[in-house]
C-alpha cells in the first residue's frame, strides 16, 4: 500500500502534487485537538460563531481566483464554473449565519399546571466528513459551515484527487480566525478512515459518494451507534411534457447534462420525453449536444472540460458500450478522443430501456439517456422506475400541473421545474431510496448533528 496521495491534472494527465499520508499517531492527535477546540467552541454564542463564519465567506471571495484555479487544475471543471462554486460557498456562509438564530434558537412550550419545557439544539462533538471530488469546495462548505455554526468540530477526509483544494480550504478557514484544530483535513487511507469513524470523540459521520461507499460507511458508523447523513448520487430524470417550449427545453437539458462536465449528483441524466414531441426534441437536442465545444477548462471559449480521472472516463465509456450492446443507439458522441487528458464528448443515447446501464445506473459524465414516454403519466412512471431518488426535473408551460406532479408523484428528494438542478442554500438538499438520507441546506443541515434536548421545568 502506498503511503502517498497524489493529484493529477485531468486536462493533461500530468501529475500535480504528492502528499504524505499521516501516521496513525498524527491522526489521533488531530482528533483529540479537534475535541479540545470543540469544548470551547460549543459554548460560544451564535453571534461569535457567526462573525467568524462570515469572515470565512469573505476570505473565500478574497482568494476566489486562487481557489478556483486549484479546483480546475485538480478535477477539470471549467474555470468559470469553479469561480461560481466559490461564490456559492460564500453565499452559504452568509445564509447560514443569517438563518442560524431561527433554526438553532431554543423553544419554550407550555406543559400546563404551571410547568413548561425548553427544547434546545445542542452541539454533540466532532463531525467527520468524507467528501467527493466533483465539487471540491462546495461539498466541504456544505457540511462544515452548518456544523461549525451549530457548535460542532469538523474533520475532513477529502477525495485524494482534490487534496490540494482541501488543504487550501483549511488554510482559508484558519486565516479567517477559526480556532486552530476546529476544522482539520485528514490525509488518510480507507483503513485509517474507519478508525476515525470508530473513535469515541467522533459523534457523527457525513458522506457524499456512491451507494457502495454509503453502505460501507453507513455500516461502520451504525456499528458504533453513530448518526450518519448520506448523499449517494442518482440518475435523475427530466420530464419534457407535450406543452414544453422546445427551445427552452433543449437549452435546459443540454446545460443540465454537461454542467460541471456532467459530473454532478443532481445533473439531468435521463431525459423522458412524451411521444407527441419526442422526434422534434430528439433532433434539436442532438444538434445542440453536437455543438458542445470540448477543450481546455481554463479557456473561456469551451463548454466541456475533461472528466476528473482516467478510470472514471473509462468506466463511463464501458457503460455506454454495454448499453449499446443491449440495444441502445448512439446519436452523437460515444467515443474516446485521441488526445491528452481524460476527455469524453457530449453523448446522446436513444432507444434506452431497462437492463441497460443508461437506464438503470448513474452515468457520471456527459452522456444523456433519451427515453420515449406515451404521456405525462407514463413519463412519471419511468422516472420513478429507478433505485435512486435524489433530484429530477419537469419542463412544461403548465406550472400548476408540474407542481402537482412534483409534490404528489415524483419519488425524489428535489424537483426542479423549468430549470436544471443547482443547489440553493435556502432549500433542503438530499434524497431518498439509494440516493441516501438526511438533509443539508435550508437550515436542516444545522439540525442534523445536534442533540435535540428536552428540558422540563416541573416546579
Residues marked as catalytic: 231, 265
Cell 481524460 appears where?
342
d(CA 381, CA 386): 10
The rounded radius of gyration (Å) of the Cα atoms in the chain is 23
Residue 40: CB atoms within 10 A of its CB come to 10
Q: Which of 380, 435, 446 is nearest to 413 (CA)?
A: 435
Residue 400: CB atoms within 10 A of its CB come to 8
d(CA 200, CA 259): 40
Residue 213: CB atoms within 10 A of its CB come to 17
d(CA 71, CA 67): 6
The grid cell for 131 is 467528501
Report how far Cα 350 is from the mean position of its chain's Cα atoms: 27
Q: Which of 370, 391, 427 is nearest to 91 (CA)?
A: 427
Residue 277: CB atoms within 10 A of its CB come to 17
Report how far Cα 41 is from the mean position of its chain's Cα atoms: 27
At 213, phi and psi to the nearest 5?
-65, -40
**E strand or H helix at 169:** helix 163-175
Under DSSP, is residue 239 helix (H, G, I), strand (E, B) or coil? strand
Query: How far lies 61's CA from each of 28, 66, 163, 390, in Å?
Result: 33, 10, 20, 29
Strands of the 107-112 sheet, one edge to the other: 107-112, 115-123, 450-457
Could you tell me which residues are beta bridge partners of residue 208? 231
Under DSSP, is residue 164 helix (H, G, I), strand (E, B) or coil? helix
Amino acid at each position: 500500500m502506498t503511503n502517498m496521495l497524489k493529484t493529477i491534472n485531468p486536462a493533461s494527465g500530468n501529475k500535480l502534487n504528492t502528499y504524505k499520508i499521516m501516521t496513525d499517531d498524527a491522526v489521533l492527535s488531530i482528533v483529540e485537538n479537534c475535541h479540545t477546540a470543540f469544548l470551547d467552541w460549543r459554548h460560544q454564542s451564535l453571534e461569535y460563531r457567526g462573525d467568524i463564519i462570515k469572515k470565512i465567506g469573505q476570505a473565500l471571495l478574497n482568494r476566489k481566483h486562487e481557489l478556483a484555479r486549484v479546483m480546475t487544475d485538480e478535477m477539470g471543471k471549467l474555470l468559470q464554473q469553479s469561480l461560481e462554486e466559490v461564490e456559492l460557498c460564500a453565499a452559504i456562509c452568509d445564509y447560514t449565519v443569517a438563518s442560524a438564530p431561527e433554526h438553532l434558537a431554543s423553544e419554550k412550550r407550555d406543559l400546563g399546571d404551571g410547568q413548561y419545557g425548553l427544547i434546545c439544539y445542542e452541539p454533540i462533538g466532532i463531525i467527520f466528513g468524507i467528501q467527493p471530488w466533483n465539487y471540491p469546495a462546495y461539498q466541504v462548505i456544505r457540511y462544515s459551515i452548518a456544523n461549525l455554526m451549530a457548535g460542532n468540530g469538523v474533520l475532513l477526509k477529502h477525495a485524494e484527487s482534490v487534496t490540494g483544494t482541501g488543504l487550501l480550504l483549511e488554510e482559508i478557514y484558519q486565516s479567517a480566525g477559526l480556532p486552530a484544530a476546529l476544522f482539520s483535513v485528514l490525509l488518510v487511507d480507507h483503513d485509517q478512515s474507519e478508525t476515525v469513524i470508530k473513535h469515541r470523540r467522533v459523534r457523527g459521520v457525513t458522506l457524499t459518494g456512491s451507494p457502495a461507499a454509503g453502505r460501507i460507511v453507513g455500516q461502520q458508523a451504525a456499528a458504533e451507534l453513530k448518526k450518519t447523513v448520506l448523499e449517494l448520487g442518482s440518475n435523475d430524470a427530466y420530464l419534457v411534457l407535450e406543452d414544453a417550449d422546445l427551445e427552452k427545453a433543449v437549452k435546459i437539458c443540454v446545460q443540465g447534462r454537461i454542467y460541471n462536465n456532467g459530473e454532478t449528483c443532481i445533473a439531468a441524466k435521463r431525459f423522458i420525453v412524451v411521444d407527441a414531441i419526442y422526434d422534434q426534441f430528439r433532433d434539436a437536442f442532438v444538434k445542440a449536444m453536437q455543438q458542445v465545444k470540448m477543450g481546455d477548462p481554463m479557456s473561456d471559449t469551451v463548454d466541456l472540460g475533461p472528466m476528473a480521472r482516467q478510470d472514471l472516463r473509462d468506466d463511463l465509456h464501458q457503460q455506454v458500450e454495454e448499453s449499446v450492446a443491449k440495444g441502445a443507439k448512439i446519436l452523437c458522441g460515444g467515443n474516446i478522443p485521441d488526445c491528452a487528458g481524460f476527455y469524453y464528448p457530449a453523448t446522446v443515447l436513444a432507444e434506452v430501456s431497462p437492463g441497460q446501464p443508461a437506464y438503470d445506473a448513474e452515468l457520471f459524465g456527459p452522456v444523456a439517456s433519451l427515453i420515449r414516454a406515451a404521456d405525462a403519466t407514463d413519463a412519471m412512471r419511468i422516472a420513478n422506475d429507478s433505485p435512486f431518488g435524489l433530484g429530477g426535473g419537469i419542463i412544461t408551460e403548465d406550472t400548476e400541473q408540474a407542481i402537482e406532479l412534483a409534490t404528489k408523484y415524483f419519488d425524489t428528494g428535489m424537483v426542479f421545474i423549468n430549470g436544471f438542478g443547482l443547489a440553493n442554500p435556502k432549500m433542503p438538499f438530499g434524497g431518498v431510496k439509494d440516493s441516501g438520507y438526511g438533509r443539508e441546506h435550508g437550515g436542516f443541515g444545522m439540525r442534523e448533528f445536534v442533540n435535540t434536548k428536552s428540558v422540563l421545568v416541573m416546579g
